[in-house]
């Protein structure tokens, strides 16, 4: 087929997809380089109200990229106004002027005894004027070192307003003695919940009290009676503890108890709406397992050493499982008859009846505030 004049002059059509987001299209020539992008970001962050403050305090100041000796020199000093020269001279040290005469400090041992005349004992006043300024001051190693230090502080943001506020706050706290840096353990306890701390430490299974709380076998206001008899030494430890608070998230328990070998709680803590505990009442926080609860009780009691506890623990099984705990509440008589002879330790729960909740007078008169026995969990010896 031969081309006709009409087909030769007909333009060719090209089909291309429409651009949905034109602003997102970039070409090789329009793509800014990395240095240009950084420069734009650098300039945008220096958009402060006062340009002088930006120049002297911001880490994006032009002074950070210049040779500091090209700025601070005697030639530039002469180009300043007379007022600026005088202000600068008032900030320079005395040895920067030609009228400075070295003297010996009054405390130096070479000084003569007090009362004798010495021409060097009289300090000659220094005339800090532009006419007496030593031109070599700006090129001395001491001045150059101080200028470079200023430039380093400028780059490191040590001269920014935020850093000045932090430094003032630090000096204030240091002066009044309120400055305190947290120990590693304090920060760890503050940042992590009790359950998370136990996971980090590897003690995950020690949460049998949490099981009782979840099944509502243990509630706030209950009294836990601990009892255990140790063969070596022959001691029976008993202690009543009041459940003061239960964390709704972690189910960790806060308990109140008395110090030393005092068994019972004071009557004022056993009634509803009791006042805040006062010394010598002690507090145990973030308790989630009977093992740490027992350790805390025995530490407070003080009669059984840790060596004797470990010896007894080697002859005792671990904490009761979920089925055993549930059975001890649903079928208490069976567990008591079967296991009481082998019990190494026990935790008994005492709770108010509904009719006793509003009778404060009866709570004051009866033992454990009128609470009644709910159930006992026994921990058994290996046979």
- So what's the pLDDT on residue 98? 87
Q: Express each pLDDT in 68-124 by its tens digit.
A: 889 899 999 999 999 999 999 999 988 899 888 877 777 777 766 555 455 445 556
Whether 215 has a pLDDT exceeding 60, the answer reads: yes
Q: Hey, how many other C-beta atoms are within 10 angstroms of the C-beta on 233?
A: 9
Query: Can you tell me the distance from the alpha carbon of 151 to that of 57, in angstroms, rounded to the nearest whole number?
Result: 10
Whether 136 has a pLDDT exceeding 70, the answer reads: yes
Q: pLDDT band at residue 288, thresholds of 50, 70 and 90?
A: confident
Q: Express each pLDDT in 51-77 by its tens digit.
A: 888 888 888 888 888 898 898 999 999
Whether 142 has a pLDDT exceeding 60, the answer reads: yes
Does one domain contain both 214 and 170?
Answer: no
The percentage of residues in the chain with a pLDDT greater than 90, rounded to a whole number, is 25
Does one domain contain both 157 and 260?
Answer: no
- So what's the pLDDT on residue 327? 36
Query: Can you tell me the distance from the alpha carbon of 255 to that of 242, in angstroms, rounded to the nearest whole number?
Result: 5
**232 occurs within a structural domain:** yes
**350 occurs within a structural domain:** yes
Residue 336's Cβ-count burial label (10 Å; 0-12, 13-18, 19+) is middle
CA distances from 271 to 223, 240, 351 (A): 11, 15, 11
Does one domain contain both 340 and 224?
Answer: yes
Whether 174 has a pLDDT exceeding 80, the answer reads: yes
Q: Express each pLDDT in 326-352 by its tens digit.
A: 334 443 433 333 333 334 688 999 999
- So what's the pLDDT on residue 340? 37
- Long-range contacts of 202-205, Cβ-Cβ distance < 8 Å, separation of 24 or more: 203/289, 205/318, 205/319
Whether 356 has a pLDDT exceeding 60, the answer reads: yes
Residue 247's Cβ-count burial label (10 Å; 0-12, 13-18, 19+) is middle
Question: Looking at per-residue confidence, does 108 or 142 come out higher?
Answer: 142
**196 occurs within a structural domain:** no
- So what's the pLDDT on residue 264? 92
Q: Going by C-beta distance under 8 Å and a sequence separation of 6 or more, which residues neighbour residue 371?
A: 222, 223, 270, 350, 351, 352, 356
Whether 323 has a pLDDT exceeding 60, the answer reads: no
Residue-wise burial string across 294-307, b where 16 or more C-beta atoms lie within 10 A, e elsewhere:
bebbbebbeebeee
- So what's the pLDDT on residue 199? 56
Give the domain range for residue 314: 204-380
The percentage of residues in the chain with a pLDDT greater than 70, rounded to a whole number, is 69
Does one domain contain both 141 and 232?
Answer: no
Q: Hey, how many other C-beta atoms are within 10 angstroms of the C-beta on 76?
A: 11
Mean pLDDT score across all residues of the chain: 75
Does one domain contain both 163 and 232?
Answer: no
* CA angle, 102 then 106 then 107, to 5°: 120
Contact 229, 205 (CB under 8 A): no
In the chain, how many domains are there? 2
Phi-psi region of 372 (alpha: psi -120 to 50; beta: other; left: phi over 0): beta
Query: Can you tell me the distance from the alpha carbon of 63 to that of 57, in angstroms, rounded to the nearest whole number?
Result: 10
Query: Can you tell me the distance from the alpha carbon of 356 to that of 369, in angstroms, rounded to the nearest whole number?
Result: 9
Q: Express each pLDDT in 228-276 by its tens digit.
A: 988 877 889 999 999 999 998 888 899 999 999 999 999 999 998 888 8
Region 113-142: mean pLDDT is 73
CA distances from 295 to 56, 112, 300, 310, 382 (A): 61, 73, 9, 11, 20
Does one domain contain both 144 and 229?
Answer: no
- So what's the pLDDT on residue 337? 32
Does one domain contain both 136 and 261?
Answer: no
Give the SS3 label for residue 228: strand
Does one domain contain both 292 and 351?
Answer: yes
């Amino acid at each position: 087929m031969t081309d006709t004049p009409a087909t030769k002059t007909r333009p060719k059509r090209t089909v291309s997809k429409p651009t949905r987001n034109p602003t997102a299209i970039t070409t090789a020539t329009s793509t800014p380089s990395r240095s240009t992008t950084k420069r734009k970001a650098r300039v945008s962050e220096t958009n402060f109200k006062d340009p002088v403050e930006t120049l002297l305090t911001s880490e994006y100041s032009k002074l950070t990229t210049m040779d500091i000796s090209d700025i601070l020199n005697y030639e530039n000093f002469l180009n300043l106004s007379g007022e600026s020269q005088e202000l600068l001279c008032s900030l320079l040290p005395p040895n920067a002027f030609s009228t400075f005469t070295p003297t010996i400090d009054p405390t130096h041992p070479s000084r003569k005894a007090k009362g004798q005349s010495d021409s060097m004992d009289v300090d000659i006043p220094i005339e800090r004027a532009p006419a007496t300024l030593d031109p070599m001051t700006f090129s001395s190693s001491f001045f150059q070192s101080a200028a470079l230090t200023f430039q380093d502080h400028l780059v490191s943001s040590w001269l920014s307003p935020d850093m000045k506020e932090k430094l003032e706050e630090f000096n204030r706290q240091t002066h009044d003695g309120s400055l305190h840096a947290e120990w590693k353990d304090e920060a760890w306890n503050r940042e992590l919940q009790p359950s998370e701390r136990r996971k980090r430490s590897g003690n995950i299974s020690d949460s049998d009290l949490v099981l009782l709380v979840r099944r509502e076998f243990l509630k706030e206001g209950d009294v836990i009676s601990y009892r255990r008899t140790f063969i070596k030494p022959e001691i029976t430890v008993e202690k009543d503890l009041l459940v003061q608070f239960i964390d709704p998230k972690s189910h960790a328990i806060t308990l109140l108890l008395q110090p030393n070998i005092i068994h019972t709680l004071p009557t004022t803590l056993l009634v509803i709406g009791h006042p805040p505990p006062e010394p010598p009442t002690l507090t145990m926080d973030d308790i989630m397992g009977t093992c740490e609860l027992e350790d805390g009780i025995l530490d407070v009691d003080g009669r059984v050493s840790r060596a004797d506890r470990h010896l007894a623990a080697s002859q005792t099984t671990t904490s009761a499982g979920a089925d055993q705990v549930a059975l001890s509440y649903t079928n208490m008589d069976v567990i008591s008859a079967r296991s009481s002879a082998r019990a190494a330790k026990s935790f008994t729960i005492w709770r108010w009846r509904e009719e006793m909740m509003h009778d404060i007078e009866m709570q004051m008169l009866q033992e454990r505030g009128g609470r009644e026995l709910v159930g006992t969990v026994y921990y058994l010896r290996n046979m």
